[in-house]
Chains A and B, each alone.
Chain A
Amino acid sequence: MNNIESIIKEAILQIKEADLKAIESIKVKYSGKSGVLTQILKSLSNCSVDDKKRIGQEANKAKNIIETEIELRKEALKKEILEEKMQKEKLDYSNKFYFPFTKGSFHPIIQTIQDISSVFKSLGFSIAQGPEIETNWYNFEALNIPQNHPARDVQDTFYLVGMKELLRTHTSPGQIHVMETQKPPIRVIVPGKVYRNEASDATHSATFHQVEGLSVDENITFVDLKAVLSDFTHEFFGTDVDIRFRPSYFQFTEPSAEVDMQCIFCKGKGCRICKNSGWIELLGCGMVHPNVLKAVNYDSEKYTGYAFGIGVERIAMFKYGIDDIRLFYENDLRFLKQF
């Protein structure tokens, strides 16, 4: 009995010291065909039934213990060897990761439109599109902008030769297209390219982008407009950004408003970007003018609605800190690759 215990002790001691080669011979020495424990088990045939049972159990147990120890030691040794091998293969990670295939990029304006769209999608708006070549009716008249109105001064329009057509000066004609083809309730945004006939400089471009919004139904009010634009601003710029509404004038909305956002650079304290006012003009909006509803044969007594227009370049410039609008259209890879 003592014999078996000392065998275990002795074996464990040897296992702890062994390397991968020695461990195999330890295995043979104790549990091999002529190993110590195998011999004990074999010698049991001469013993009493009781001894047979007792010693047999103990020898088998000892065999298990030793074999388990051997396996554990083997695994530990293999791990050690692998670690040693990997240490030797160690590579310099510091500056050699270099993918020879340059990464692609999405244009910041398109990306901004996508971002704006996804916020409005989450606010229940669907997306519509309209043509860039428009008629006077869609661009002006249906929007309550009569011929010779001084307001047409601010919208210098590109007219096409030989046709009574023009390049849309805003995405608002989209409102008319949507209302002509759908019945209320309407809840839609119209993103797209627009054109103004003006010389380009750091803040003006003859081609730029807007996102128009329109919601018309039986009970749409100014309160709803304020809510949706406040939700949009908070989703897009963060919940800590304050906004304010100021009265303004657009022919196709009445009442009209301009929405200012607290300057995101100085948090309203006043800086160069917000011209020390603490506020940045964000967008124009208002309640759809009854004349616009009449132009699309909607019952302006029954239905009310709101509309808004967001300048995409402006928002992208604020978002990314870009100070020259022309960078968007030069397509210099050193610019594009930053997005």
Chain B
Amino acid sequence: MKVSYNLLKSFVSFDLEPMEFAWALTSIGIETSVISNTCNWPNVVTAKILDINKHPQADKLSLCKVSDGTKEYTIVCGAKNISVGQVVPLAKVGAVLPNNFQIKKSKIRGIESEGMLCSKKELGISKESEGIYILDDKTKIGSTLESVLGDSDSIFDIEITPNRGDVLSHLGVAREIGAKLKKIVTIPKIKTFNVSGLNCVQVKSNLCLRYIGGVISDIKVGESPKWVKDILEKSGIRSINNIVDITNYVMLELGQPLHAFDLEKLSSKNIVVRAANESEKITALDGKEYSLSSDMLVIADDKQPVAIAGVMGGQYSGIDVSTQTVFLESAIFDSVSIRKTSRKLNLSSDSSYRFERGLSWDIAETAFWRAVNLISDIAGGKIEAREDLQNVKREKTSIALRINRVFKVLGYKINEDEIIEILRYLGIDLESKGEVIFCTVPSWRNDIKEEVDLVEEIVRIKGYDTIPLQSKQAAYSSTLNESFIGNTVENFRVKLNGLGFNEALNCSFCEIKELEKFGLQYSYKIMNPVSKENEVLRPSLLPGLYKNLMLNISQCAESVTLFEFGKVFNELGEKKNFSLIAYGRVWQEWWKWEEQKISPKYDFYFGGGVIKNILSEDFVIVQNLTPAKYYHIGKTASIIYRGQVIGQVGILSPSINEDLKDEIFYCQMDIDAIEKDKNSKVIRYKSFSKLPLVRRDISVIADKSLPFNEIESIIKGVMKSNGILRNYSLFSVYTDEAKIGKGKISYSLRLLYRDDNKTLTDAEVNKDMIHLLEKLDKNLQVKLRD
């Protein structure tokens, strides 16, 4: 909301510079910024246009010769509304326009411009403007602009929090600054009249709490006086005619939305405030037709609605030049109902904005009379009759405030006298009895409902900067070494970081279409997505990571390694998941590899190796009996954690993307399942021998169909039983069937032997190795290769 510095001063006297004023309000919770400080345009003067020529380098620009009476200036200008002889504002070099726009000497398309001709927008006088601000022809040239405009006002933009509807007027802002500066606020003198009642108004809905209506006759519709138009323009409201302008002016002054309509245009003299009929139509003042529903409130004559209550008037009953008799309405409607109506119709107005935030019971009447007074002063009207229908009995809010409660909440002492003074300047009636102050809240402060609200008022006006700052850092003791990520994932993250993986973070949404590609099903659909991207909650981290992968491939990344930790939303509910995607070459080019040409890709084995590397001994990788649909069925495995399947690894199905050069490795793990098991293993140190290690390399031939882990489990069995075989590794796999036989595969294994108590002899090692080979042969028909 925009407010005028000058109009505010008519309510409360203060002498703060605009910037100080803006901060004073901001410091009490009313965010205020100076949007134009019209009394200050340094180096902007009035100048006459002497000559206009086309810019030789640009069709749309012109070269103007202007004079301020003492000197001539060449100005490059793009506006079309200028002509020779006009007087215009000239911002000379060194001028500073609103938004810190500094005018410097500059070349525009090769021609130097010695300043700028200004529009109203550039001067901060209005929000929008077309072309240069053309001043009156008779304006004296060479004068400062502020001396010519003669209106030294500043405009502020005020942003209120949703609870402070009472600040949405000049009076409201004045009350706030008055409370801060301890100044009395006065409102314009208002004359009331004793007139007869109106018998034609009926309120048929309890959504209308108070309805003041009056008939004003003999009015003359015309243009508003300048002072009314100025305030409307500064507030960004279009001037229509004197009657409509007065209703808006009073709203800006006092905060009460008013509505006026032409009584003679109604089909009957009866006015009803009622619920709309289902599908009832009304063409509002914005020219659009709205279809209403029965939860909305309308003002109607016998036949049709004349206004959507609190939101907008109807077109057909609008005031125009022929209007002679006006019906003036000042009402209080249920704020929730207005809000719902406004949302449902997608129609909001200055009026609905205020109704939604709650109005003052008392000001409704003040505003009515203020408008009656202004109409009679400006448009010559006379009030004939008036009705004030009250649907509820208005009760004032009374709150008992305990002085010690103020201290309990704030933690520092404010003395009682100061508390009382602050509350009084806020318009609160009070009575102090011992340790308790009994407060009666003024009608405009609907937001003050309980004791703690008064506590806030006290500290808000006193100033948050008066709260003492006491660092207590030394008093804190550190707590457990927790992380919001959890120890399991924290461990994965650190290890993967060392392995060159990058942490990703995706939004939690997916498009349904995206899921189909992966054979994924969604479980949670969004009712009101802003766009298709937000259709459903992701059932897996794969779609997001895949999208990231494709983005990076499109940006020519040779390898992409990403991991993400986040929630997935599937048939099991909201689950913590950890996923990893890897693509392309593991190592980058290296000049020394001219000698050693190794460059593995993130294939099934390398990717699986990464996973095995980051997992503790509690995890095992086994055959995948129920691979996810997005996996290559021949290149996938399951991850088991203490007997429970918690994830899968593998290569994505080639059907997902047939154009890629390499395979995509993907692994996902259910972290909830891991974290559920709280009995984490404590590491126990095992002593180790200083005696030498004996190394044996052997090659064995097995059936291709035999999973390697069956060989491993035999080796592990031997390791467990005899104690001298300490470790093994697979260092080569050979598959040339011509040499080793059809359907066969050869594994080269390195076996490491050690005895803790003595140096092993060859015979002892051989004996143990033969024992292993016999077991492999007997159980798996795996034979030593010769």
Query: Quick check: B479 and A150 within 8 Å, CB to CB?
Result: no
Kindly identify which residue among A110, A126, A226, A247 contacts B480, using a CB–CB cutoff of 8 Å: A126
Q: With an 8 A cutoff between CB atoms, is A329 at the interface?
A: yes
> In the assembled complex, which residues on chain B have CB atoms less than 8 Å from the CB atom of A257?
464
Contact A103:B591 (CB < 8 A) given known A124-B477, A227-B469, A245-B464: no
Query: Quick check: A197 and B528 within 8 Å, CB to CB?
Result: yes
> In the assembled complex, which residues on chain A have CB atoms less than 8 Å from the CB atom of B476?
122-124
Contact A161:B526 (CB < 8 A) given known A223-B411, A245-B465: yes
Kindly identify which residue among B26, B459, B551, B593 contacts A255, using a CB–CB cutoff of 8 Å: B459
B104 → chain A, closest Cβ, in Å? 18
**Among A18-26, A65-73, A151-159, which stretch is in contact with chain B?**
A151-159
Q: With an 8 A cutoff between CB atoms, is B500 at the interface?
A: yes
A113 CA to B482 CA, complexed, in Å: 13
> In the assembled complex, which residues on chain A have CB atoms less than 8 Å from the CB atom of B528?
157-159, 197
A65 CA to B165 CA, complexed, in Å: 102
Q: Which residue of A lies closest to B455 (CB)?
A: A255
B129 → chain A, closest Cβ, in Å? 23
Q: With an 8 A cutoff between CB atoms, is A332 at the interface?
A: yes
Q: With an 8 A cutoff between CB atoms, is B527 at the interface?
A: yes
A318 CA to B161 CA, complexed, in Å: 25
Q: With an 8 A cutoff between CB atoms, is B632 at the interface?
A: no
Query: Quick check: B339 and A254 within 8 Å, CB to CB?
Result: no
B623 → chain A, closest Cβ, in Å? 30
Query: Quick check: B464 and A256 within 8 Å, CB to CB?
Result: no
**Among B234-242, B265-273, B502-510, B712-720, which stretch is in contact with chain A?**
B502-510
Q: With an 8 A cutoff between CB atoms, is A274 at the interface?
A: no
Q: With an 8 A cutoff between CB atoms, is A14 at the interface?
A: no
Query: Quick check: A329 and B467 within 8 Å, CB to CB?
Result: no
Q: With an 8 A cutoff between CB atoms, is B559 at the interface?
A: yes
Q: With an 8 A cutoff between CB atoms, is A261 at the interface?
A: no
Contact flags B511-534 to A (C-beta < 8 A → 1, else 0): 000000000000011111111001
Query: Quick check: B467 and A245 within 8 Å, CB to CB?
Result: yes
- The number of chain A residues with a CB under 8 A from chain B is 84
Q: With an 8 A cutoff between CB atoms, is B285 at the interface?
A: no
Query: Quick check: B471 and A207 within 8 Å, CB to CB?
Result: no
Q: With an 8 A cutoff between CB atoms, is B112 at the interface?
A: no
Q: With an 8 A cutoff between CB atoms, is A132 at the interface?
A: yes
Query: Quick check: B560 and A206 within 8 Å, CB to CB?
Result: no
Kindly identify which residue among B335, B456, B502, B527 contacts A256, using a CB–CB cutoff of 8 Å: B456
A249 CA to B412 CA, complexed, in Å: 21
Q: With an 8 A cutoff between CB atoms, is A96 at the interface?
A: yes
Contact flags B440-484 to A (C-beta < 8 A → 1, else 0): 000000000010110110011000110111111100111110111
Interface centre among B408, B409, B530, B567 (most CB of A within 10 A): B409
Q: With an 8 A cutoff between CB atoms, is A224 at the interface?
A: yes
> In the assembled complex, which residues on chain B have CB atoms less than 8 Å from the CB atom of A127?
482-484
Q: With an 8 A cutoff between CB atoms, is A49 at the interface?
A: no
Question: Which 9 A-B pairs have CB atoms at the shortest separation, nearest pair first?
Answer: A221-B411, A247-B29, A249-B161, A223-B411, A124-B476, A255-B456, A245-B464, A104-B497, A331-B548
B contact set with A: CB distance below 8 Å: 26-29, 31, 100, 161-164, 335-336, 339-340, 356-357, 408-412, 450, 452-453, 455-456, 459-460, 464-465, 467-473, 476-480, 482-485, 493, 496-509, 524-531, 534, 537, 545, 548, 551-552, 555, 557, 559-562, 565-567, 569, 574, 586-591, 593
Sample of 15 more A-B contacts, CB < 8 Å, known A290-B450, A337-B502: A104-B503, A121-B478, A123-B476, A124-B478, A125-B479, A126-B482, A132-B567, A167-B526, A207-B507, A221-B409, A226-B468, A231-B471, A246-B27, A330-B551, A332-B555
A contact set with B: CB distance below 8 Å: 96, 98, 100-107, 109-110, 113-114, 117, 121-127, 129, 131-133, 148-151, 153-154, 157-163, 167, 191-193, 195, 197-199, 205-207, 219, 221-224, 226-228, 230-231, 244-249, 254-257, 276, 287, 289-290, 304, 328-334, 336-337
